[in-house]
Structure 1
Amino acid sequence: MTTIRDWIGFWDSPHSIYVNARHIDVHYRDIATAIAGFVPGPKARVLDFGCGEALHSDTVAKVAGTVVLSDAAPSVRRNLSERFAHVPNIVVASPEELKAMPPGSFDLIVANSVVQYLTRDSLDGLLADWRRLLAPDGVLIVADVIPPDVGAVSDLFALLRYAAANGFLIAALVGVVRTALSSYSKLRQQLGIAKYTEAEFRDILATAGFTAERLPGNMEHNPARISFRARPRN
């Protein structure tokens, strides 16, 4: 059995984060709907960074000019390329390929449930990349930032409320036990999860050259976590 040593390796391998097919479908449906709501117009160039399986990105593609899906895990990118081969305005790119794109390539960049898996150096590097890739009037959405006082209990109750509202509560109860015994739990204990207060993350964004505001609600299902809208500072 191969030992998973980092988060990219985890997402690049079979895992049990989603408790069943209903969970993964609803999750990505809601994320796609949220991203579509941020798209500024029908010609907008959109980057979904760290997109995961992105099952419903065709929803975003219907209201945008181009949608670039980027994930560090090679197997995820292969799945995305196959899934959306028939959608002409969806492009799949590696993080390395993004670095080769010209400045101002995107009108909207979304990074949902990404920053908790990054070291501070990696976060600073990505913010610099996103700042370069954004058009001068572009928008960066950073979602699902975890405050220091939000832990496993909050995550558990948020998942159970979400499951109850979307018809997979029994599967979620079983899945909680499975996840606790999974490589995700072990890797989280080993590598940790990055957490930031609202003020800390605002300062990080400001240092990276953005003006930022906290959104009224989190883009993900857990209301205890935070989402930000940021714009390049002139």
Structure 2
Amino acid sequence: MNWRDYWNQDTPIYVNERHKLLHYRQVANDILSLIVSPRSVVMDYGCGEALFADRIATHAGRLYLCDGAPLVRERLNERFGRESRIQVLSPEDMTSLPDGSLDLIVVNSLLQYLSLEDLRRLLKTWHAKLKSDGRLVLADVIPPDLSPVTDAKALLTFAGQGGFLTAALLGLVRTAFSDYRKIREEIGLATYSEAEIADLLRDVGFRTERQPRNLGHNQARMTFIGRPL
């Protein structure tokens, strides 16, 4: 099993429905804060179930939801198929978009599941699809020295604030015995330092700035904005 196969199924990554709801709501709010014009053409790449995509779409001219898992795309089409501003894409569909057509590409909590080769290829594609004044947002990037304990603490803090602390504690136990833990041990998660991200983006024609705040609840992880040179 690879990471794409793992996400093409129901997973235990969210401890309950409240966790999933609050997670996607916060990410949607963070994406909304990045949209500067109601005419913006936005792509959420590796979007997952994107439960609040309709809210994002009301503040943009067009919203593309792109995900590699067929099951996820099926659910997105069921949820948002009647939303005229939303279009669901596969990664292969994404490559057919006109070059220079996107104002904002958000890639949240995805880099850890990509090989370096795949990341380099995608960075070139994203650069081509952005307008000259567009922005690429790489969020939830895991630094090399981040401990799983720190991730767990961030989840428990989020759970305490969101009212699902007991479920989060039980969820951490379930995850320890889940396929996620097994595939993470077999394949691993990609980690990057701030300098490594800057180098990767510079190689394909971006200037890079680390943001003071990460998208989502885990502030031990990092968010970067790349702008075409």
TM-score normalised by the chain length of structure 1:
0.97
Alpha-carbon deviations, 1:112-135, whole Å to 9, x = none? 001010110000000001000001
Alpha-carbon deviations, 1:177-209, whole Å to 9, x = none? 011111000000000100111111111111121
Aligned residue number for residue 156 of structure 2: 160
Paired residue secondary structure (1:38): coil
RMSD: 0.6
| Amino acid across the alignment from 1:87 | E
Aligned residue number for residue 27 of structure 2: 31
Aligned residue number for residue 181 of structure 1: 177
Structure 1 unaligned blocks of 5 or more? none
Alpha-carbon deviations, 1:19-64, whole Å to 9, x = none? 0000000000001111111012001000000000000011110100
Is the counterpart of residue 87 in structure 1 residue 80 in structure 2?
no
Alpha-carbon deviations, 1:70-113, whole Å to 9, x = none? 00000000000010122110100000011111101210000000
Is the counterpart of residue 196 in structure 1 residue 192 in structure 2?
yes
Is the counterpart of residue 44 in structure 1 residue 14 in structure 2?
no
Alpha-carbon deviations, 1:5-26, whole Å to 9, x = none? 1000000012100000000000
| Amino acid across the alignment from 2:73 | R
Match of 1:17 among 10, 13, 16: 13
Aligned residue number for residue 148 of structure 1: 144
Aligned residue number for residue 213 of structure 1: 209
| C-alpha distance in 2 between matches for 1:53 and 1:113 | 13
Paired residue secondary structure (1:47): strand
Structure 2 unaligned blocks of 5 or more? none
**Worse-matched range after superposition: 216-225 or 41-50:** 216-225
| C-alpha distance in 1 between matches for 2:82 and 2:27 | 21
Paired residue secondary structure (1:138): strand
Aligned residue number for residue 113 of structure 1: 109
| Amino acid across the alignment from 2:84 | P
